[in-house]
Structure formats: C-alpha cells, structure tokens
Amino acid sequence: MNRRVVITGIGIVSPIGTGKEAYWKALREGKNGVGPITRFDSSELATQIAAEVKDFNVEDYMTKKEAKRMDRFTHFAVAASKLALEDSGIDIEKIDANRFGVVLGSGIGGLETLEVEHNKMIAKGPRRISPFFIPMMIGNIGAGYVSMVFGAKGPNYTVVTACASSTNAIGDAYKIIERGDADIMFAGGAEAAITKLGMAGFCTMKAMSTRNDDPDTASRPFDLERDGFVMGEGSGMLILESYESAIARGATIYAEVAGYGMSSDAYHITSPAPDGEGAQRSMLAAIKDAGISPEDIDYINAHGTSTPLNDKYETAAIKGVFKDHAKDLVVSSTKSMTGHLLGASGSIEAIACILALKEGFVHGTMNYTTPDPELDLNYLPNKGEERDVKYTLSNSLGFGGHNATIVLKKFED
C-alpha cells in the first residue's frame, strides 16, 4: 500500500535524562551521563565506569508487585512506552487494538535476572530458583509486557541483532504500517546490561574504555585517543502511526519515516568489514527506499561507538556512499554523552534525529579533542549547532555483522 508513516509519540529513559524534554535539554547542553558504577562492586573489573540511568523510579510506572516480576530492561521498556503513549495523545479505548502492535529491540534481554538466579542456584540450590526466572529473562518479554500493559493486539515481536536491534525494530514497524498490516505501532528498544557478568564479558574482549579516572571524557567517538566504548542502559520508544490515522485524530507529528535499509557484513563476529562495506550497502538501501539521493541527506547520527575500528570504518563507509557530499554533511555521535546502550542505542539515537528535524538543532560529538588524521569529516566537535535539517540518517552496526539504517524526514503536510 506504501502508506506514509509518521512519528507521533516519543518516550525515553536514558543516562542523561528521562522524558523527552529532559533528554533533549541534555543533548543541547552536551551533558555527560558517564560515571563510576554504583549498581555493584566493580573493583575487580578493568572498566569501572558506565552510563547508568539515575533519575528513574520504577514505581512511577507500575506497582511494586508488577516491578518484582520484571527484569530491569522490561522496566525501561514499559516506562518509555508509557511516556510515548502519553506524548502521542492516543486514547487506547478509541482505537482498534487488533491494528496496534509492538516491535522491540534488545540485544541481551534479562541479563540481570539471569545473573541473580544463577548465583542463587550456586549458593542455595536449584529449588530456590524463582518461578518467574524464565519469563523475566527471555528477550521477547519486553515486547510481550508492553503489549499486555497497553492492550496492543497487533503484530508483536522482539528483534535481536545486537547493537542494530532497535533500528531494525523501528524499520520493521515502519514497514508493517506502510504495507497496511497495522495502523499504530510501538517501536524502539530497551537494554539493561550494566551487571557484573555483562561488564566482565565486554572487559575480557577489551572492547570498553578503561578511563576510570576520567569518566567525563571516556566516550570520545572519532577522537584519535578513543580506547573503547562505555556501557549504557535505558530505552527509547516511539509511536509510529499511519499518516491517515494521525491526521484523523489531529495528532502532533514530529517527523516522517522515509526509508529503511539493512545488510550483513558476512565477515567477522565483532569487527566491521573493511572500509565499512556492509554499512555502505545498508545506507544505500535506506536512501533508495526513501526515494532520494545521497545529496539530500543533511545530517548523519553515526553509530560512533568510540572504538578504534568502528569509527574508522564507519567514516570510510560514509565517504564511500556520499562521495564529495561527505564534506558537506554534519555527523555526530549521541554515544559521546549517553554511552552505548547496545540493542537500545538506535532507538535513542533515532529520537535525537527526530528532535533535530523538529527543533532545527543538531547536537555535537563531545570529548573530541585530538583529531584523527584518518577521520576527517565534520563531527561537530564538542558543540551542537542550529541547523535546518530536512533529511537525517541514523546508522546502527551490530556484532555478527548486522547493519541497519533508517532515514527520517522533516514532516511536511
């Protein structure tokens, strides 16, 4: 049917603020969300810093009893979904629940529950395992709970493509509405992997920054002295809606989803393909799906992890796609402030793009102090700028070679 798909609701729980207004204010001000880990004793780990969610009270969004039966990643998913639904102004009593769905991305799911219950079994035996262990831990349960809490009876599933998960989720939800299988969708991601086991795993991979004495500048995408990513947590959820549905109820429209592309590197379990060859194909597919040319893109929200290879090859990929236009683009990394939310990263970065389109401001890349001679694009060092943006592109690149890209467009009636 090729229906237009618009964004009418934004909900976010992030290391730099909960709620759309707090998040946007933090992005504009270049606020840092990284600090020493407080959720457990990290003294044995090489990396002792992370971007934790700090201003979140789960009982603002559900009862204590309900919260005890959910993992932290599901807390975030339900909370962000509630904020998005409230922001959209949708009255769920007045819509067709069968055409209202959920696509959630999570790379790891209920890791905290897995760790807690495993430790309990070792210490006290298998009979002490919680009967809620499995339904708290499984990755699909975030989408399941969002569906149950809000009565969304349409398409419902979870995407697991590592750090590309929530960008795939948004793209999939877009296609579901575009082809007419639903009218309204929750779409986004949730992650809560700041646990001792999760951090230890990434530490032994030597994937994370070890700037424990200087957490404010630890996440430094595209900088010559970058030494690894910083783990983050949280959730970004959007309300995607058919244009006809949004107009019929007089909704505020933030932006339009214009294109979606994806690809596989088919190269390595963790390293991107040389020169970002897979990322290039993903970007080109999204641009083609949007029916535009590369020269129409004004701003790229990069995957920009602050790891040596990712930033190098993503820069090469952008140059490969945009050719001479690459020098006219602005590129920035939200992860310089929020850290890397793994499977949820694409969702909060999509929100940064949507608000850039709506508000005419593009946030900068913080902690950029020493240019890398191989990385020579305009990364908006340390400061955002007012900029009229019509098309934005958001990249997410995951372990296993998963690449996902969405193109978002300034809404024009």
Contact 111, 69 (CB under 8 A): no
CB within 8 Å of 159: residues ≥ 6 apart: 103, 104, 105, 106, 165, 166, 168, 169, 172
Sign of the CA dihedral 239, 242, 243, 244? negative
| C-alpha to C-alpha distance for 333 and 303, rounded to whole angstroms | 7
Contact 290, 2 (CB under 8 A): no
| C-alpha to C-alpha distance for 28 and 103, rounded to whole angstroms | 29
Q: Which residues are catalytic?
A: 163, 303, 340
| C-alpha to C-alpha distance for 347 and 73, rounded to whole angstroms | 14
Q: Which amino acid is at 95?
A: I
Tokens standing for 341? 């939310």
CB within 8 Å of 118: residues ≥ 6 apart: none
Dump the DSSP string for 47-74. --EEB---S--GGGTS-HHHHHTS-HHH
Query: What backbone phi and psi angles, to 5 degrees, belong to 348?
Result: -75, -25
* E-only strand ranges, 23-177: 35-36, 49-50, 100-105, 156-159
Q: What is the 3-state secondary structure (H, E, C) of 335-377?
A: HHHHCECHHHHHHHHHHHHHHHHHHCEECCECCCCCECCCCCC
**Closest C-alpha among 353, 351, 319, 346 to residue 403:** 346
